[in-house]
Amino acid sequence: MLSENDKLFMERWEKERGPESTFSRKLLAGLPMAALFCLPILLFVMMVYLFLPDWYAKVSNTSGATFVVVIVALMIAIVFIAYFRMHFRWEMNEQHYHELKAKLKNQSE
Protein backbone atom coordinates (compact mmCIF):
# COMPACT_ATOMS: atom_id res chain seq x y z
CA MET A 1 0.00 0.00 0.00
CA LEU A 2 1.30 3.42 -0.93
CA SER A 3 1.49 6.04 1.78
CA GLU A 4 -0.14 9.45 1.44
CA ASN A 5 3.28 11.05 0.83
CA ASP A 6 3.98 8.60 -1.97
CA LYS A 7 0.65 9.37 -3.62
CA LEU A 8 1.27 13.12 -3.35
CA PHE A 9 4.77 12.69 -4.77
CA MET A 10 3.46 10.70 -7.73
CA GLU A 11 0.80 13.32 -8.50
CA ARG A 12 3.28 16.16 -8.27
CA TRP A 13 5.96 14.38 -10.25
CA GLU A 14 3.58 13.47 -13.07
CA LYS A 15 2.89 17.19 -13.51
CA GLU A 16 6.43 18.45 -13.00
CA ARG A 17 8.66 15.83 -14.62
CA GLY A 18 8.38 17.28 -18.13
CA PRO A 19 9.14 20.92 -17.33
CA GLU A 20 11.85 20.00 -14.82
CA SER A 21 13.70 17.90 -17.39
CA THR A 22 14.74 20.89 -19.52
CA PHE A 23 18.32 22.16 -19.49
CA SER A 24 17.38 25.74 -18.68
CA ARG A 25 15.15 24.79 -15.75
CA LYS A 26 17.86 22.58 -14.25
CA LEU A 27 20.47 25.28 -14.73
CA LEU A 28 18.37 28.05 -13.21
CA ALA A 29 17.24 25.93 -10.27
CA GLY A 30 20.80 24.88 -9.47
CA LEU A 31 22.50 28.27 -9.80
CA PRO A 32 21.92 29.50 -6.23
CA MET A 33 23.53 26.48 -4.59
CA ALA A 34 26.37 26.38 -7.11
CA ALA A 35 27.03 30.07 -6.57
CA LEU A 36 27.12 29.56 -2.81
CA PHE A 37 29.60 26.75 -3.31
CA CYS A 38 31.96 28.80 -5.51
CA LEU A 39 31.37 32.22 -3.97
CA PRO A 40 34.05 31.97 -1.23
CA ILE A 41 36.67 31.02 -3.80
CA LEU A 42 35.57 33.80 -6.11
CA LEU A 43 35.59 36.37 -3.31
CA PHE A 44 39.06 35.31 -2.19
CA VAL A 45 40.43 35.57 -5.71
CA MET A 46 38.84 38.97 -6.23
CA MET A 47 40.16 40.30 -2.91
CA VAL A 48 43.69 39.18 -3.72
CA TYR A 49 43.43 40.67 -7.20
CA LEU A 50 42.05 43.99 -5.97
CA PHE A 51 43.99 44.53 -2.77
CA LEU A 52 47.24 42.59 -3.23
CA PRO A 53 48.01 42.43 -6.97
CA ASP A 54 51.77 43.00 -6.59
CA TRP A 55 52.11 40.40 -3.86
CA TYR A 56 50.65 37.64 -6.01
CA ALA A 57 52.81 38.55 -9.01
CA LYS A 58 55.98 38.54 -6.87
CA VAL A 59 55.22 35.27 -5.12
CA SER A 60 54.10 33.23 -8.10
CA ASN A 61 56.09 34.74 -10.97
CA THR A 62 52.95 34.97 -13.08
CA SER A 63 51.10 37.89 -14.54
CA GLY A 64 47.88 39.32 -13.23
CA ALA A 65 46.07 37.83 -16.22
CA THR A 66 45.92 34.46 -14.51
CA PHE A 67 43.13 35.87 -12.37
CA VAL A 68 40.97 36.12 -15.47
CA VAL A 69 41.57 32.44 -16.13
CA VAL A 70 40.63 31.60 -12.54
CA ILE A 71 37.42 33.65 -12.80
CA VAL A 72 36.46 31.95 -16.07
CA ALA A 73 37.20 28.53 -14.54
CA LEU A 74 35.00 29.35 -11.55
CA MET A 75 32.16 30.43 -13.82
CA ILE A 76 32.45 27.16 -15.73
CA ALA A 77 32.45 25.30 -12.40
CA ILE A 78 29.30 27.14 -11.30
CA VAL A 79 27.47 26.14 -14.48
CA PHE A 80 28.70 22.55 -14.20
CA ILE A 81 27.71 22.19 -10.54
CA ALA A 82 24.34 23.88 -11.09
CA TYR A 83 23.30 21.64 -13.98
CA PHE A 84 24.59 18.31 -12.71
CA ARG A 85 23.32 18.81 -9.18
CA MET A 86 19.80 19.36 -10.45
CA HIS A 87 20.12 16.62 -13.06
CA PHE A 88 21.09 14.17 -10.30
CA ARG A 89 18.13 15.32 -8.24
CA TRP A 90 15.81 14.90 -11.24
CA GLU A 91 17.15 11.37 -11.86
CA MET A 92 16.59 10.43 -8.22
CA ASN A 93 12.99 11.69 -8.35
CA GLU A 94 12.43 9.87 -11.63
CA GLN A 95 13.79 6.63 -10.17
CA HIS A 96 11.60 6.98 -7.09
CA TYR A 97 8.58 7.63 -9.34
CA HIS A 98 9.23 4.46 -11.38
CA GLU A 99 9.69 2.43 -8.21
CA LEU A 100 6.37 3.66 -6.88
CA LYS A 101 4.66 2.93 -10.22
CA ALA A 102 6.06 -0.63 -10.13
CA LYS A 103 4.93 -1.06 -6.54
CA LEU A 104 1.45 0.19 -7.44
CA LYS A 105 1.31 -2.15 -10.43
CA ASN A 106 2.36 -5.15 -8.30
CA GLN A 107 -0.31 -4.32 -5.72
CA SER A 108 -3.05 -4.14 -8.32
CA GLU A 109 -2.20 -7.58 -9.76
- Asked if residue 86 is part of any domain, the answer here is yes
Number of domains in the chain: 1
Q: Give residue 63's domain range.
A: 22-108
- Asked if residue 42 is part of any domain, the answer here is yes
Q: Are 23 and 83 in contact (CB under 8 A)?
A: yes
pTM for the structure as a whole: 0.78
pLDDT in tens, 12-63: 999 999 999 999 999 999 999 999 999 998 888 888 878 877 776 676 666 6
Distinct helix (H) and strand (E) counts, the chain:
4, 0
pLDDT of residue 45: 81
- Asked if residue 63 is part of any domain, the answer here is yes
Q: In whole numbers, what is the pLDDT of the chain averaged over residues? A: 88
- Asked if residue 13 is part of any domain, the answer here is no
Euclidean distance between CA atoms 26 and 49, whole angstroms = 32
